[in-house]
Structure 1
């Protein structure tokens, strides 16, 4: 049975998994879950795949696993991939940045996306105070990244790792949610290098952009 990955092509979290799988040479069976139609909120999805009603979800035989970072670590373990780092020190640094990304980075970009994009789609009023709060947190985190990436091409060591993929994920929605990343030249240069150097990252960007643009056009929303 092939490894199945459930998710929506418009999701930056799914993009992290599909990119990593391509880089590791792991073939996966994609199972589309339309988040905009609420397909992850059904009782069947929650009881069998993820009680939180979120994607992506991995199904590998009897193994069900959710959270993109955990899925990528699972895939990397299957093929002993260097995306987790080469030395023991690098592996711990990769985990450090992956955990940091979840707690200090993506949580606030998700909040801003929900406010600026999600609420626009749903015709709801934005919470300007929440946007201001999230933007402040994003700038604080981006400053740390900008300093760390000075003179570097990668987050850890001299090669791409899962830390880069986790931290690059919010760039998937940079224009739609208007994240202030452009204020940080080292951060922008690092991400530009990822797009140039790794076709898998550019390919999944094109897929995500196409999905989002088609959906927004279908509901008559211009951001």
Structure 2
């Protein structure tokens, strides 16, 4: 049975899943869900994820939402070393994936909601919220920048699921103007991912095309 992944191609979280699936050679069937048309809030979709968010994975009777959980599932199913080659490495990868959810991605998502989603709704951004998110991003980025000062990837000397989790906010960073550029090791790491992980570079174009199309359709300059 084919694993179905429901999501909007403009989503950085969907990008994490589609990239991981390609890297692990896991066959998936994409099911498009247009977030900007409210398709994630239909009664049918809400039975899959009551939060009305994507991506969502359906593999037979297994339904999972949250991209990190989906990637862990796919990695275990594929026996992939993206989840670590040793128990110690696995726990370190999990530590950074949890760190990403708690300390990192949430503030970039908040900035996207203020600077992109509100523009689509014709509402002004809340500068206080944007400033708070920028402060939290800088605090976390300083930790990550130090981590990447003497290593090519977040854990060990190769790509893991930790890198994909933490790299997700770069999917929208040029549009949201989050302060990633202030941290040279972080910028160099993202460039390294684009240069050495073809799947990450390919999925970037999908995100860009989707969001730019939505903005242009709304009469907003990308």
TM-score of the superposed pair, with normalisation by structure 2? 0.99
Q: Find the counterpart in structure 2 of residue 155 from structure 1.
A: 154
* Aligned position for 1:31: 31
Count how many residue pairs are aligned between Structure 1 and Structure 2. Answer: 222
The alignment's C-alpha RMSD in Å is 0.7
Paired position in structure 1 for 2:2: 2
Distance in 2, matches of 1:66 and 1:130, equals 26
**Offset of residue 202 of structure 1:** 0.3
Q: Contact (CA 8 Å) 1:146, 1:184: kept in 2 or not?
A: yes
> Does residue 140 of structure 2 align to residue 104 of structure 1?
no
Quote how far apart the aligned CAs of 1:215 are: 1.0
Gaps of 5+ in 1: none
Give the CA deviation at 1:208.
Answer: 0.6
Q: Distance in 1 between matches of 2:76 and 2:9?
A: 24
Return structure 1 stretches of 4+ with deviation > 4 angstroms. none
- Contact 1:152–1:190 (8 Å) recurs in 2: no
Q: CA deviation at 1:46?
A: 0.4
| TM-score normalised according to structure 1 size | 0.98
Once the two structures are superposed, residues 35-86 of structure 1 have per-residue CA deviations (whole angstroms, 9 ceiling, x without a partner) of 0000000111102x11111100000011111000000000000011000111
Query: Matched residues in 1 for 2:51 and 2:85: separation?
Result: 34
Structure-1 residue corresponding to 2:65: 66
Other-structure match for 2:138 = 139
Work out whether residues 109 and 138 of structure 1, in 8 Å CA contact, stay in contact via their aligned partners in 2. yes
Structure 2 residue 53 is matched with structure 1 residue 54: yes
Q: Structure 2 unaligned runs (5+)?
A: none
How far apart are the structure 1 equivalents of 2:158 and 2:220? Answer: 39
